[in-house]
């Protein structure tokens, strides 16, 4: 969905490097989410934010941090990347009025 | 707590034949249920959503799913597969509204469509 964009789309980095993944949305939604996808495990929630001042940990937040710079922007950081953080990362948006979420195209991250 | 189990990690069908993707869920309350599709190198697209209005839910591209509370199932079907249906499909349950409607995903079913 072009309304939710993620940058970069692909990234290869080395163990120990800091990396930031960015998500922007033009849907006007107040809620934003970060997931990672691993084969056979579906998507798992890393962090979520209901508004700029409300950020919450998901089920697998260790090793990650986030920043909600504005209603439309939600960034995910890996302070010191490790190989088992190699995955496909998705950003999603939603609103308080519905539980439907809208996903970005994903960022494929490889940590060597 | 809630969980989702997709009973088949891979399904192979011939073009023009029916598709059945099986999903069982566990939830402490009446959940919303979704099916999302992910085409290769693409994001996730919503196929359909169940919210208790009707047990048979029609989605996009000819897919439909039936909610069966007694069986805690939400299987996805399509009468006639098309080559463009080759993708990975995720069954998803939404959490309790007060907990932020967090989504729980099944492990996914990868569909192969043979000509």
pLDDT tens digit sequence for B53-82: 788 999 999 999 999 989 999 999 999 999
- The DSSP output letter for B6 is E
Cα separation, A79 vs A88, in Å, equals: 17
Cα separation, A54 vs A72, in Å, equals: 14
* A43:B97 CB<8 A: no
- Picking from A58, A90, A99, the nearest residue to B43 by CB comes out as A90
The per-residue pLDDT string of chain A (112 residues; one tens digit each, 9 = 90 and over) reads 469 999 999 999 999 999 999 999 999 999 999 999 998 888 999 999 999 999 999 989 999 999 999 999 999 999 999 999 999 999 999 988 788 899 999 999 999 9
């Amino acid at each position: 969905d072009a309304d939710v964009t993620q940058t970069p789309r692909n990234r290869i980095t080395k163990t120990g490097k800091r990396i930031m993944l960015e998500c922007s949305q033009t849907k006007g939604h107040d809620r934003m989410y970060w997931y990672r996808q691993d084969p056979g495990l579906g998507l798992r929630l890393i962090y979520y934010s209901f508004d700029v001042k409300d950020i919450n940990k998901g089920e697998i937040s260790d090793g990650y941090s986030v920043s909600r710079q504005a209603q439309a922007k939600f960034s995910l950081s890996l302070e010191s990347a490790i190989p088992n953080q190699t995955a496909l990362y998705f950003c999603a948006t939603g609103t308080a009025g519905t539980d439907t979420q809208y996903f970005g195209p994903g960022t494929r991250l490889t940590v060597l | 707590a809630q969980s989702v189990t997709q009973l088949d990690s891979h399904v192979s069908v011939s073009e023009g034949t029916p598709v059945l993707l099986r999903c069982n869920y566990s939830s402490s309350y009446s959940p919303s249920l979704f099916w999302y599709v992910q085409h290769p190198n693409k994001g996730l697209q919503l196929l359909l959503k169940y919210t208790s209005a009707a047990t048979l839910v029609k989605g996009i591209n000819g897919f439909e799913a039936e909610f069966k509370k007694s069986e805690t199932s939400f299987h996805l079907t399509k009468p006639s597969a098309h080559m463009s249906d080759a993708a990975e499909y995720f069954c998803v349950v939404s959490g309790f509204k007060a907990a932020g409607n967090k989504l729980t995903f099944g492990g996914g079913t990868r569909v192969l469509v043979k000509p």
